[in-house]
Amino acid sequence: MFSWRSPSAKPYRDQRGQLSDDELIDLMLEEPRLIRRPILITGDEVLFGYKAEEYQARLS
């Protein structure tokens, strides 16, 4: 759910794969733009980022 493509993530890209989940969560708490959007919650599923086919399948 960390948005590595976000311009806000640029300073952290060289640390990809090295940061722990807790460190990534702390960064997202400090800078919410680092959270991949949109977030779709349906029942017991959560989708991060827009994937047209998956959205259509879950919303129809």
C-alpha separations of 48 from 5, 14, 58 in Å: 13, 22, 13
pLDDT band, residue 59 (cuts 50/70/90) = confident
Residue 38 has pLDDT above 90, yes or no: yes
> What's the pLDDT at 32?
96
Residue 60 banded pLDDT, cuts 50, 70, 90: confident
For residue 3 the two structure tokens come to: 């948005």
Q: Where are the beta strands (DSSP E) in 1-60?
A: 39-42, 45-48
Q: How much is the pTM?
A: 0.78
Tokens of 57: 């399948």
Confidence grade of residue 25 (pLDDT, cut at 50, 70, 90): very high
